[in-house]
């Protein structure tokens, strides 16, 4: 975050996309480029947060104008990020700021207060200098610090907890992102995906063996095979398919016909 530049008061609609300014009470706040460490951390945090199954929208440096003389752009915003041009009315439910070398602490304090006053529920400040930590700000509550090894929660915004390290460490962040993306597709873990793939292969093998042996396959038996997701059971059925006198015998002991 940069320093205040206040030749006169402005309104948000006078600031163009790409201008290096935010507005606080009508006064410009210069926003300087982010260094490598901060941008790398923000990219990690964005992937983690946007992939959460409960998140419908998230953005980077999204400009919010809750009042005509206010324009604030959190490093990462979760929620209320419409796919439309121009400044966004209101504020995001969750905002994340990355504080690194050169952070203007006075402006950060004002920015936090303005976002909370405008309706942001949670602000996470990720500290990249000194001991890594996240400062959690909520309206009406004292700021609290969450350290590596602990988790951050955002009820009603995120489904899953976020390990502190996942907001800046890609080794952790990519695992959390993978978990989130799997959940978006109905899986709890990568192991579940692998098990489903193995089950699909086994189901196909059973049907191929029965077909090669020219055993008649009743609809009830086919349905039992198609519905089974347990590789242990399917392995047993595959062995039976090689020797059974009829297709009915393949699933009989596991609740088939």
pLDDT digits (tens, 9 = 90+) for 8-55: 789 999 999 988 999 999 999 988 888 999 999 999 999 999 999 999
Q: How confident is the model at residue 253 (pLDDT cuts 50, 70, 90)?
A: low
Domain 4-184 has CATH 3.40.50.720: no
pTM: 0.81
Q: How confident is the model at residue 205 (pLDDT cuts 50, 70, 90)?
A: very high
Question: Average pLDDT in the 206-227 region?
Answer: 92
- pLDDT for 102 equals 87
The helix/strand/coil state of 195 is helix
Residue 2 in this model has a pLDDT that exceeds 70: no
Indicate if the alpha-carbon torsion angle 168, 157, 76, 124 is positive or negative. negative
Q: Which is higher by pLDDT, 1 or 94?
A: 94
- pLDDT for 255 equals 45
Calculate what percentage of the chain has a pLDDT beyond 70. 95
For the chain, residues classed under CATH 3.90.1570.10 are 4-184
**Is 168 in contact with 37 (CB distance < 8 Å)?**
no
Q: Which residues of 69-107 are buried (b: 16+ CB within 10 A; e: fewer)?
A: ebbbbbbbbbbbbeeeeebbeebbbbbbbbbbeebbeeb
The helix/strand/coil state of 41 is helix
Exposed/middle/buried for residue 147 (C-beta within 10 Å: 0-12, 13-18, 19+) = exposed
């Amino acid at each position: 975050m940069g320093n205040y530049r206040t030749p006169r008061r402005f309104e948000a609609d006078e600031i163009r996309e790409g201008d290096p300014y935010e507005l606080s009470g009508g006064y410009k706040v210069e926003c300087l480029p982010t260094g490598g460490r901060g941008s790398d951390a923000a990219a990690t945090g964005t992937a983690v947060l946007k992939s959460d199954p409960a998140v419908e929208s998230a953005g980077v440096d999204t400009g919010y104008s809750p009042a005509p003389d206010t324009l604030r752009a959190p490093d990462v915003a979760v929620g209320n990020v419409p796919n439309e041009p121009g400044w966004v009315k209101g504020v995001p439910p969750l905002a994340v700021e990355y504080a690194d070398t050169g952070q203007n602490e006075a402006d950060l304090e004002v920015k936090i207060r303005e976002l909370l006053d405008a309706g942001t529920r949670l602000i996470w400040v990720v500290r990249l200098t000194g001991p890594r930590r996240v400062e959690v700000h909520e309206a009406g509550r004292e700021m609290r610090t969450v350290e590596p090894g602990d988790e951050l929660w955002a009820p009603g915004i995120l489904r899953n907890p976020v390990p502190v390290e996942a907001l800046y460490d890609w080794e952790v962040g990519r695992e959390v992102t993978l978990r989130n993306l799997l959940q978006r597709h109905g899986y709890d873990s990568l192991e579940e995906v692998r098990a489903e793939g193995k089950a699909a292969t086994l189901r196909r093998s059973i049907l191929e063996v029965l077909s090669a042996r020219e055993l008649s396959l009743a609809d009830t038996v086919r349905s039992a095979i198609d519905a089974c997701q347990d590789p242990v059971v399917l392995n047993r059925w595959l062995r039976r398919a090689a020797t059974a006198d009829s297709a009915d015998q393949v699933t009989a002991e596991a609740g088939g016909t």
